[in-house]
Every structure is written in C-alpha cells, then in structure tokens.
Structure 1
C-alpha cells in the first residue's frame, strides 16, 4: 500500500492515512514495548520471525480496544486494521499467528475492561478481488460526513479532488459490478462475496445520497455512466484546453502563422535597407536604370511597403500570436469526463 501516493491523491482523507501510518509505526516507541515483546515471543515460540509485525498487531488491537480515536470509530478502525493485515499477510505473516493474537487480546480485554470493544479478525480480506479498489469504495462510505462538508464548500482547497474521487468511485463500482456480477452464476457463486459487498456499497451510497440533498447533484449515478463535467473544476487539471486538435493541419497553420508573418516583415525591412543604403542597392538601381519607369514604380512601392511595416516594430509577437489564434466560441459547453 503506497500511503504517500494516496495522501497526495486523496488529502481530504488524511485521518485515514494517518491511521494506517500509526498501524505501521514501530513498537519500540510505545510505553508497553516490553509487554508486547514478551507476549509475541511466547506466541512465536521464541522465534524472531515476524516479531515486528506481531508486536504491531498486538499494539494496534489493544489501542482499538482501549484507546478511543478522536475522528474514527472503533468499527471503522477495526475494518482498516483488517485491511492493513491483508498487506502483512501478502508478506507471509501466518494466519494462525494472527488468530492467536486476536484471541489473546480478546481475553485480556474481557478480563480487564468492563465493556470492551472486540475487533474481530476478518480472513475474507485474503480472498478479496481488487482490494485497493474496494478500499476506495469503503473509504467513501466511512467518510461521507467529511466528503459532504467539502462538497458543500466550493472554496475548499480539496473541493475538486473530492469531486474527482466521488466520480472515480462511481466508475469503480460500475466497472466491478459489470465485470464480476453481470450474470447470476457469478453473482451468487463465483464472486458472491464481492458482489454482496458491492451491493452493500450501493445500498449505503443510495441512502447517503438521499440523506444529503445539498450534494446530490454532485454524486454520480451508480447505474450508468453519466459524462458529467465537474462544476468549477475545469482548470484545476492545469491542462491547456483547445477547441482544435493540436495535430490538425488547420491548427498547425495558425500556430506557425505569426512566425511566417514576422519573417515576411523582417525580410521586407532588410531588403529595403539593402536597396537604399548599400553597394548592392546601387548595383540593383544601376541595372534597373535601363527602365526608368520600372525603377520609379518599384522604388515607390518598396517605400510604401517599408513605411507600413514600421507600425509592427513595437508589437510583441506573443501578443500577435494571441490575437491571431484566440477566437472564443460562444454557447459552447465543456464536458469533463472523469472516468
């Protein structure tokens, strides 16, 4: 799990990412380090393999049981702990040791606390398909209060990222539901656990959208893909939006037109200077002296063109490019596909 990446993509869920970082914090910093180490050495039968993860799990379980967290309930913390455990099991942390640790913490809690919260081990995470995608869906449901607050405030610094996240979750649900739960056999047999979780997500999502009418228009449909642009967030991606394809021949011409015109003006001025003030100009005029009428006409035309060219000398080429290429299109609507 790349917590740093997720903190960048979804900073409004910082309480969740801080919790995962706490789960992974080294136990040596804790006051009960000695007690955790003794119990884990007993569980591991004196072996050092998995000692670090064992102490972390023991510590994390006990904190959920006995230490309230300001922003996240025990149920949600337990769910996230099982998610964290999934990644530890991927690194070969044995399931039988996990069961022993949960059992020991439960016994200690019942012996020492009046009404302890018991976090139960959920081995179904081992069988999860696309667990990180499911985690995104669950995070949305578990943190809907935070998401509602952000979506209600158009000036919130995370407003657009939050809208993008909600649309991303809508796409995740639709894609996974179509991929794994599209027929009755997959839905009830092959992927029954996943499909039940997706249905649970949908039920909660529908309930939440009805509970928060002020943000309902910002919550995408789960039944079909609606190519809806995100209000007020068109420019947050910091990408240049063009009415024309960058590779189109028409756009190529307009992109290069200022250079062409600038080159033509520069060439005309240089030719005029050469013609009037250099030996080359004298040579040209002497040869053209055979036809005085032609010489006079050409001289007048070049003077006229030269004088008209000087009006561009103080013009910034960047301004010229803007004036020549920017043509606002009225009555158009941008569509921003988040999928």
Structure 2
C-alpha cells in the first residue's frame, strides 16, 4: 500500500528551514558536475541542484520516518520551484534526477534516497499539500502555549477554523482518506491548543472530525470481517468456547453444502425430466 503523500505537512517548516539554509555560505565553483547537469536540465540553475544535494545529504543522517517525510517535502518543493520556471526553457526534473543519481550515487549509503525519494507528483495532490501547509502555517503562529491569544493571534486561529471547514467539505465531496486523515491530525492539535481559550471573541474552540461518519459506517463491517478470524482462533485455542463452537460451525457448513448439493441435483433432475417430456411431445406429434 502506497504511503500518504501528506504526512510531512505538520512538520513542513522543519524541512523548509533545512533546505533554505543548505546554500548559505556556499560557493558553486567547485560543483562542476552539478553545473553540467543543471545546464542540461535546469536551464543552468545550479543553485537548485546544490540545494537538492545538500538536503539529501542531510536526510541521510536520520532515521526512516524523518527521511521518508523529508523526501515527500522535497517532492513538493521541487514541483513548486520548477513549475514556476515552466516556459523558460528545458526544466525536466525527472531527467535531471536520473542524471543526478548517476553522478552522486557513491555519496549516499541509503539507496532509498536515490531510488525512491524523487517521484512525479500529481497536480491535485500538490494543491492539497498547499492547502495543508497553509493551514499549518496559520496554526504555527499560535501553537506555542506561552502565547496569549489576542489580536492577530485570534485572527490566525479564526482563519484556521475557516480553512479547516473549507477543506473538510472538499474532502467529503471527493473522498481522499489520506487528505482527510491529515486534516484530522490537524484538528487534534488545534482542539488541544485552544480548548480552554476564552480571550478570542467568537472563536470556535472545538473542530468536528474530518472523518466522514458515512465512511466509518462503511468501513466498520469490513474491519469486523477482518478481525473475526483472529478472535475465533484465540477462542478456539485458549478457551473452552472453541471446543463448543467449532463442531456447530462444521455442522452448519456441512448442512449448507448438502443443501447446495441437493439443490443442484434437483435442478439437474428437473432439467432431464423437462428434456424427456419435450422429446416425447415431439415424438407423438410426429
């Protein structure tokens, strides 16, 4: 099952700060290979090539979760930066990255960074990521518990509510479970932060769930079906209930099989009888 592309949204600012500072106090003269592939695929934008190189080097020092979310942010960042350059020349990020992998493969021990990090991103997913980053951007202004929510902080909190309500509606209209789940994660943070706030007039201090109740209703029976075999196994192995229920289940299955078999036999006999009757009618008519 493919991972959600939105899981980095709540900590996007950490990755943003890291990639923004990756070119500070650097000179580009020594990066001849980056110059070459940037000229070929990025209209000479060596700075972007260097940022990607430095950011991947940064990710290589961390664990799986941080690295995975960092790669998702990098996908978003590349799409955002390079799409702004459309029409200015040959900006081909996937070809650039293939060339980049061939050039820098010896620098990274983590194969995931080179083989699984950069992927094409769907326009619809990109827009949803933008929406999530926007709402987290507003929340980050007031997330510190030491901040007294007044004035502009109240405005940011109210904007959070408006954005959340709008995006939840879109989520329910065209259901994207990953997007809805990230909205749900945001809801929990918001509710925890503002639950006791009284200093903002007309501020909604509790956001309703982003998970559609209809979806929960649909999912629940399937969850029960998936869990039931494990429950029966435990009951059979470790409780007296197993020795009581298993013979009865077998009898039910056997009875069901016999009924099905007898039904098929009766149907076949009826068909044979009908065929014989049609034959006799045809014979006498002749």
Tell me the TM-score normalised to structure 1 length.
Answer: 0.41
Tell me the TM-score normalised to structure 2 length.
Answer: 0.47
Structure (1 or 2) with the larger CA radius of gyration:
1
